[in-house]
Structure 1
Amino acid sequence: MKTQNYANHRKFYPLHHFIYLPLLMILEVLGIRKIFTDESNQLTWILFSVVIALLLFLAIMLRQHYALGNQNRIIRLEFKQRYFELFGKSSDQIVEQLNFGQIAALRFAYDDEFKMLLEKALSHQISGDEIKKSITKWKPDFNRV
């Protein structure tokens, strides 16, 4: 397995991203093209295009909505657990000072860097992307949705 870092940490689901969604997009382009070229069945192609557009929208939104909502809850819980293990106290006040992007970015740092970057995030309000770019030794997360 490749070493994970900032440049390659995104994850794709091939069936969804490279087959199903492109197929829907091709059908949508075909339907829109046919609206203007097949005037005898124009209403049928309009209906076809609307249905494909709705399927495309639903496919993107539903897949992401449930998985990401669940993943975000788990990331917050992991942060709280890790904070407790490192500092021996509740993280409730700290979590209120950070946005989700910062919390999510901190999971890629090992413990020593985690402490330093957490302090930097709290004192300088650096973004999650800046936190990720600041990590020198990337802690991979291969269990994401």
Structure 2
Amino acid sequence: MKPQSLDHHVRYHPVFHFFGAPLALITIIGSIVNLCSAIKNSDHIWLAVLILVTSLLLVVSFFLTRLYSNKVQDRVIRMEENFRHFTLTGKPLDPQLTMGQIIALRFASDEEFVALSEKAVNEGLSSKEIKQNIKNWRADEYRV
């Protein structure tokens, strides 16, 4: 695995991104095609509607599961970075920092973390700008 950097830090979960998501899309498309065919033939329309509704429920639950796990990771990152800032400065992170900024700051080394977090607040840096300002990249190997 390549070391993380600005150009190589996005993580993909192959089962989710390359198997589950396309399969979910195919399931929805297939159930819509099935419903159209049932309507055209006036045959088992209620069953086709039931299949479509079931497919939609499965897809929604599939994506909500991913969303919820990302939200939990975001909360953990906020807590970790707040603790890191407190350890380095004796003060908590500035509450003006957005979640996106905090997530980007996690890649900064301890040496540049405090100054970069202050710069992010003072200049309103976006997460992309924060990542571009990082000189010593600190890898996050645990986020999925």
TM-score bin (small chain): 0.7 to 0.9
Gap regions ≥5 residues in structure 1: none
Give distance in 2, aligned partners of 1:76 and 1:24: 31
> 2:22 corresponds to which letter in structure 1?
P
Name the one with the larger helix percent.
Answer: 1
Distance 2:66 2:77 in 1: 18
2:94–2:121 Cα contact (<8 Å) kept: no
TM-fit CA distance, 1:78: 1.4
Residue 108 of structure 2 aligns to a residue in which SS?
A: coil
Give the unaligned 5+ runs of structure 2. none
1:31 and 1:68 map into 2 onto residues whose CA distance is: 28
Compute the RMSD of aligned alpha carbons: 1.8
Offset at residue 110 of structure 1 (A)? 0.9
Specify the SS of the correspondent of 2:94. Answer: helix
- % of aligned pairs identical? 35
Mapped contact 1:34–1:42 kept (Cα < 8 A): no
The corresponding residue for 2:67 is 64
1:85 positional shift: 2.5
| Offset from partner CA, 1:88-131 (integer Å, 9 cap, x none) | x121xx43121111111111011222233122112111122211
> Normalised by the size of structure 1, how large is the TM-score?
0.85
* Residue 20 of structure 1, CA deviation: 2.4
Aligned length: 141
